[in-house]
Structure 1
Amino acid sequence: MEIGRKIKQLRIQKGLTLEELASRSELTKGFLSQLERELTSPSIATLNDIVEALGSSLAEFFKEEEQEQLVFHKKDFFVDEREIYTINWIVPNTQKNAMEPILIELPQGGDSFVMDPHSGEEFGYVLEGAIILMVGEEKHIVHKGETFYLSGKSRHYLKNEKKTTAKVLWVSTPPLF
């Protein structure tokens, strides 16, 4: 672990200058500068003083952050097959995220689940086929290569009245699916 670099990162996050941190931790600006440039190392007691001056603790300072998964493969997907639609959960465990994407497949005559009014927003991109976006009593036809974007204030769902399967990338924020 690069202790000096992490101290500098925390100092900048807190909006402190070297001089302010030196004053709070009762250390010299020169020592902190050398520390941040990895030219010297602090004792544990000194590191504790610096970390406390930054509003943290040694336990928090040394806590390793979990590596966030950025890329998801087909083996990570969860598929929920129903008679009138299939949902591919293409990013697992999205309840902790700000948005939730799914890939929904609608066979001929298939309807999606109904989304009741909510405070979020939704985006969809038709990858294959065409769908009818039902918003309240309004019908909106969306073809392959086209998108939809709506607030969740009205009841809505997707329908497929074509003879081919429709595939839609559908993203909701906050996660609702």
Structure 2
Amino acid sequence: MDIGSKIRELRLENGLTQEELANRLELTKGYISQLENNLSSPSMTTLFSILEVLGTDVSDFFSNQIEEQIVFKQSDFFEKENNDLKHKISWIVPNALKYEMEPIIIEIGPGGSSEMDDPHAGEEFGYVLEGEITLFINKKKHIIRTGETFYYLANKEHYLHNHTTKKVKVLWISTPPMF
């Protein structure tokens, strides 16, 4: 493990110069530089003090756990088109199956539909970003327009249908993940 680089990374995350860190620890700037360049190793007491000043502890410092991704860019999305149903689904949080909910964006062309979902445990929420869509829950129809939302228990057969001549875009979130 590269202890010096981790100390440097934490110091920079805390917005401290080597001199500022050294002053808080009653050490010299030169010693901090030696630590960060792996030219010297700190005693356990000094390491504990450094980590305390940098807002972490020994277990987090030595953890090999990869930092969880929080922000997802469009390049992270996974897309799938269904030409028969005239829709495209974008999974906007990769690997959402490991989470409690799964957000997608579904774009449905004129006359198109989402897949028919059989009844299942969970809840679903949607926000119409563009256009006007019909939500079918069993045989009951609900018209939802741009800027409006829908929310229901998913214990009945359900799907979306674009009854218009324009493309529709919907943010759709399912819990547990189902898409």
What TM-score bracket applies, with the shorter chain setting the length? 0.5 to 0.7
* Equivalence for 2:14: none
Among candidates 92, 113, 117, match of residue 90 of structure 1: 92
* Equivalence for 1:173: 175
Normalising by structure 2, report the TM-score.
0.65
* Equivalence for 2:127: 125
Q: CA deviation at 1:140?
A: 0.2
Q: Which amino acid aligns with 2:101?
A: M
* Equivalence for 1:79: 79
Instruction: Please list every run of at least 4 consecutive aligned residues from structure 1 whose deviation after the TM superposition is greater than 4 angstroms.
Output: 38-41, 58-61
Aligned CA distance change for structure 1 residues 40 and 112 (closer, same or farther; 3 Å): closer
Q: CA deviation at 1:62?
A: 3.7
Distance 1:171 1:88 in 2: 12
Q: CA deviation at 1:59?
A: 8.8
Normalising by structure 1, report the TM-score.
0.66
CA RMSD, 1 decimal: 2.5
Distance 1:61 1:117 in 2: 46
Q: CA deviation at 1:60?
A: 9.5
* Equivalence for 1:163: 165
Gaps of 5+ in 1: 3-34, 42-57
Aligned CA distance change for structure 1 residues 162 and 40 (closer, same or farther; 3 Å): closer
- The worse-fitting range, judged by mean Cα deviation, of 83-92 and 62-71 is 62-71
1:142-161 equivalences in 2 (<5 Å): 142-161=144-163
Identity %: 49
Q: Which amino acid aligns with 1:99?
A: M
Aligned CA distance change for structure 1 residues 104 and 40 (closer, same or farther; 3 Å): closer
Gaps of 5+ in 2: 1-5, 8-44, 52-57
